[in-house]
Amino acid sequence: MTTSIKISPSILSANFSKLGEEVISLEKAGADYIHIDVMDGHFVPNLTIGPEVIKELRPLTKKIFDVHLMISPVDNFIKDFSNAGADIITFHPEATTNVANTINLIKNEGKKVGISLKPKSKIDLIEKYIDQVDLILIMSVEPGFGGQKFMPEVLDKTKKIKEIIDKKNLKVEIEMDGGINFDNCSKAKEAGVNILVSGSTIFKENKGDLKKNIEILRTN
C-alpha cells in the first residue's frame, strides 16, 4: 500500500500583509495542512507570530492548523495556541524541562501532539515518547528561517525513526521541514516521510503557482 503524502505549506513564506487571503489560496490550491511557524527570538534567532494571529486566521478555513512552536519555555503558551485554534501542536524537547508533561498538556487540550528534532538532535531525545505522540517533525534545516538549504544528513535519522514506528506498529506520522524542493522531496518520502512542509518552494517556484507547486511536491 502506498502512503498518501500530505502537503503542509508554511505561511512563513507568505505575504504577511494579506495572510488571510494567502491561507484561503492555499486551501484552494489543495494544501492538506497549514504549517504555522511560531518563533520567539530566544529558542530560535527570529520572531514571527503568536496566538492572536492564528485566532484571526481560524475562521477562514477548516484546514488543519499544524502549529510548529519554536519557543522556550513552551508549556505556558500551550493553552493559548490551543484556544487560538491549533489542531496539531508541535514542540521541541529542548524547550521544556519535562517532555512527558508537555505532551500531556497538549493532550489535555484535546489536540494532536507533535515532537520535533532539530538537524543535530539525536533520536534518544524522543525515543521513549514515540508511542505517546501523533507526529514527529524532523527539521532538515536549523530552525529559524525559511529559504535555507536542505540537509540530507537527516535522512538516516528519519529512516531509523520510521523503522521504530513500524516495528511498534504505531500510527505516528513523520513530517519533514526545511529546504524541501522538487528534487529532494522524493528522498524524504523514501525515508518514510508522509507530510512535507514547504515555504519557499510552494510560494516562489513557477511564479508562485501554489496549486502546481503543491501537486509537484506531492507526486515527484
- Report in angstroms how near the CB of residue 87 gets to ligand DX5 at its nearest: 16
Give the separation between CA 24 and CA 43, rounded to whole angstroms: 30
Residue closer to ligand DX5 by CB (options 12, 84) is 12
Residue closer to ligand DX5 by CB (options 110, 205) is 205
- Report in angstroms how near the CB of residue 117 gets to ligand DX5 at its nearest: 12
Based on the residue annotation, tell me whether 75 is a catalytic residue of this protein. Answer: no
**Looking at 37, 40, 66, 134, which residue is catalytic?**
37
Nearest 5°: phi and psi at 29?
-80, -5
Grid coordinates standing for 158? Answer: 528519519
Contact 201, 180 (CB under 8 A): yes
Based on the residue annotation, tell me whether 177 is a catalytic residue of this protein. Answer: yes
Applying CB under 6 A, does 68 fall inside the site for ligand DX5? yes
Cα angle 109-111-116, degrees, rounded to a multiple of 5:
115
Give the contacts of 197 (CB within 8 A, at least 6 positions apart).
8, 9, 10, 35, 66, 68, 137, 175, 176, 177, 178, 180
- Report in angstroms how near the CB of residue 160 gets to Zn ion at its nearest: 21
Interaction site with ligand DX5 (CB under 6 A): 10, 12-13, 35, 37, 68, 141, 143-144, 146-148, 177-180, 197-201
What positions carry a catalytic annotation? 37, 177
